[in-house]
Amino acid sequence: MEPTEPIEVSEKSISELLLAMAKTGFQGRKLGEAFEIWLEMLNEERITILMGVSGAMVPAGMRKVISWLIKNRYIDVLVSTGANLFHDIHEAMGFKHYLGSEYADDYHLFKKGIDRIHNVFAYEEEFNRIDYILADIISELDGVMSSRQFIEEIAKRIEVKDKNSIVISAYECGVPVFCPAIADSSIGIAAALADRRAVIDTIRDVEELTDLVAVSEKTGVIYIGGGVPKNFIQQTEVVARLKGYKAGGHEYAIQITTDMPQFGGLSGCTFEEGISWGKISHRGKKVQVNVDATIGLPLLAHGLQKVKRKICPIFIWDEELKIEYKPFNYVSVCQRF
């Protein structure tokens, strides 16, 4: 056994603090271990790192953090709820979310046209404007496409005022964004308002993400919350085996969540449980951190600031997906615009 090492209060970087926390106890240690695992993933030369983001992290202020992770290729694939993508588009087009209170009179807010997301406010009229703008964009689209292709088409067409955007950064840097439950969001509302010729085939999402995981030499996963994004990434290992690929589970896994496994909710399902399904490798390095993601994610991201990704995957979406692992350089990788 190794002794714990109490944290000394001294001048140190956030990365040094996280590494020191890894030698303490409880959830502080878990957050430090998550940092160590993320560092190890980034030092791998032939790995694809997938992130699942649930809930409404963008209204909670996590938008620029996720955009920065994409731009610096600390993640290579994003699976998100539609809510996060809609709120990201909302801010990319120059609108805002506002500091509010969970103790406000909600009927009064309703009469004033203000929507509440816990202690964050937004104007319903602004959301409606985005709904109609997206409906016009969606009306221009035609054909059957995956949510990845659909989100790329939207990113090409929106009028951007703030490029610290998840969908714009992902489009520029060739990071695929999947949204398998896209109908469950304001993007789905916009699609319902559109003169639709385009069809989003979410089963194509299953095929595309499974192929991506199967073709990758090694995979690591990072879950912010759980829900559909988590299970959608997890199930790729099951689908891959059914399709005849050799799939032994994700080799690295981090989850930041406040959900508990005792009540049977998938978001709280442990990685140990995932081993029984073959979703997580029994030899893999894994950690679950029981902390609010709006606390854990910014700390981890700031700890990564001086870490440079050396090699990252480049996805070539032809008839058959190909992955090339190349030295990371922002100018050469993020060159679409």
What is the enclosing helix (H) or strand (E) of 66?
A: helix 63-71
Indicate the DSSP class of residue 160: -
> 325 forms bridges with which residues in the sheet?
313
Nearest Cα neighbor of 76 from 285, 202, 303, 252 is 252
Task: Report the alpha-carbon distance of residue 194 to residue 35 in Å, rounded.
Answer: 43
Residue of 71, 230, 279, 286 with catalytic role: 279
Q: Are strands 77-80 and 177-178 parallel, antiparallel or unpaired?
A: parallel
- Tell me the torsion sign for CA atoms 263, 267, 272, 277: positive
In sequence order, the 6+-apart residues with CB closer than 8 A to the CB of 98 are 120, 121, 122
User: Is 161 part of the annotated catalytic residue set?
Assistant: no
Task: Report the alpha-carbon distance of residue 247 to residue 284 in Å, rounded.
Answer: 13
Q: Point out the residues that are catalytic.
A: 279
